Amino acid sequence: MRIRPGVELASLSDIGCQRENNEDQYAYWEPSTDEEFARKGRLAIVADGMGGHEGGQEASRIAVESIQEVFANAPDNDAQSLLSVGFQVAHERILKYAAIHPELQGMGTTATAIALQGNVLYYAHVGDSRLYLVRGTNISRITHDHSYVGRLVENGLISAEEAETHPQRHILTAALGAGAEVWPETSPPIQLQEGDVLVLCTDGLWSLLSENDIRTVVARSEPAEACRALIQMTKDRGAPDNITVQVLRLSAV
């Protein structure tokens, strides 16, 4: 896979310590031509399937493939629009797949996808996989969890710190393939700087690591080493779920 100058990238997924199969999926994509790359930029995705091992695996696969297909094949250059359309297509395809395979009713997946055009970040997000930005000694979470506990935080009933260890933090309120409609979270474009690091991860990672854990590892390590270290740290703490992480560091072109 060709990775053009401008980012250092690493991705890693692990089954964890207790699961029998990996329902997570991830992808990184760049256009084949420099002309198209100049228009569309880069795409990275993580997804965490649910609904039984076969259903979860299929849902996350469909989501990643659909989002990438829409982004890659559409003539449009509007990254935010392409991400949103990709999520809608993924949602509809998962619903259709579940209708054809009734034994997989309840299948669904989280998804967090980013598009990078130069130093400008666009994203779309559903569920509780996360996107972090590490800048210098600071880390900030870009996405908001679509979860029961996330709603408690938004309504001021518990603090963000309490949410990180709440026993019901994994109950989702939105996922691709769940419900008649899906409304992915987006935001205005975010301007990044050289040296910024983006971390995409599933809840198998963030549920056992603090933001400070993630920041510390990412700040001192190259992306490939950071991925290995983060997953090993998670497994050292029991890793009851699958673990997936992508780390992208912006570098000089």
Is 72 inside any structural domain? Answer: yes
Q: How many domains is the chain partitioned into structurally?
A: 1
Is 157 inside any structural domain? Answer: yes
Q: SS3 sequence, 14-73?
A: ECCCCCCCCCEEEEEECCCCHHHHHHHCEEEEEEEEECCHHHHHHHHHHHHHHHHHHHHH
The pLDDT value given to residue 158: 74
Is 74 inside any structural domain? Answer: yes
Is 1 inside any structural domain? Answer: no
Tokens of 234: 């998670």
Strand partners, 131: 200
For residue 103, what are the domain limits?
7-250
Reference 205, options 178, 229, 175; nearest CA is: 229
Is 221 inside any structural domain? Answer: yes
pTM: 0.93
Question: How many other C-beta atoms are found inside a 10 Å radius of the C-beta of residue 92?
Answer: 16
| DSSP H helical ranges for the chain | 34-40, 53-73, 79-100, 148-154, 160-163, 203-206, 211-220, 223-236
Letter string b/e over residues 59-85, b meaning 16 or more CB atoms within 10 A of that residue's CB: bbbbbbbbbbebbbeeeeeebeebbbb
CB 63 within 8 A of CB 113: no
Is 33 inside any structural domain? Answer: yes
Q: Say which CATH number the domain at 230 has.
A: 3.60.40.10
Distances in Å between the alpha carbon of 176 and those of 1, 105, 107, 183, 244?
28, 13, 9, 9, 18
CB-based burial label for 41 (10 Å; 0-12, 13-18, 19+): buried
DSSP, collapsed to helix, strand or coil, labels residue 135 as strand
What whole-number distance in Å separates Cα of residue 128 and Cα of residue 130?
Answer: 6
Question: How many other C-beta atoms are found inside a 10 Å radius of the C-beta of residue 144?
Answer: 14
Is 2 inside any structural domain? Answer: no
Q: What is the pLDDT along the chain (253 residues), one digit of tens a residue?
A: 789 999 999 999 999 999 999 999 999 999 999 999 999 999 999 999 998 668 999 999 999 999 999 999 998 889 999 999 999 999 999 999 999 999 998 899 999 999 999 999 999 999 999 999 999 999 999 999 987 776 776 777 777 777 677 767 677 888 999 988 899 999 999 999 999 999 999 999 999 999 999 999 999 999 999 999 999 999 999 999 999 999 999 997 6
Count of residues for the chain?
A: 253
